[in-house]
Amino acid sequence: MRRYSLFNTLYVNATAAADMKYLGISHVRDLAPGNDPASFAPYAALAGLAYASGSLPAPALTPTLANLPVTARTVLMEKPDGSLWLAIWNESATSPTTVSIYLGNVTSDASVYDPLTGTAPVSTGSGVTGMTVALGTDPLIVSIQPE
């Protein structure tokens, strides 16, 4: 499956410290319940080292996801400016599933991108505390800018 392979390659390459610094990513977390923690350990360890050393502030916001399929995967990346990038993909989607993203009581501007269809957002929201996305076969990138 070409889409997964390309996305997986980008995901794996993002673990190198040099790449993390180049991308300006300060925190990386896997939000999907049921994901194998051992497979995510290198990513968490890399972000955890920076956090434990005191060189990074605590994450400002951790979105929660509802109705995420068991076969779905996520990566949450926080940049030093406090903006978040949430990548969501489903490894075996047969039809789109509506996934809810909750931001707690933090209002944010959010944009959803489908990198396989273009660079323009497929949906946007301003001053929202949550949103829903249709998770199908394409990976989705959600940009979250806390206000």
pLDDT, tens digit only, all 147 positions of the chain? 444 455 555 555 444 443 444 445 555 555 655 555 455 455 555 555 545 555 555 566 778 999 999 888 888 888 878 888 999 998 886 789 999 999 887 888 999 999 999 999 999 999 999 999 999 888 999 999 988
Distance CA 79, CA 131 (A): 21
Query: What range does the domain containing 126 cover?
Result: 2-146
Q: Which ranges of 1-147 does DSSP label H, i.e. alpha helix?
A: 2-13, 17-23, 37-52
Domain count, the chain: 1
pTM of the model: 0.66
For residues 81 and 27, is the Cβ–Cβ distance under 8 A? no
- Residue 27's pLDDT is 52
- Residue 79's pLDDT is 81
Residue 13 belongs to a domain with what CATH number? 2.60.40.1180
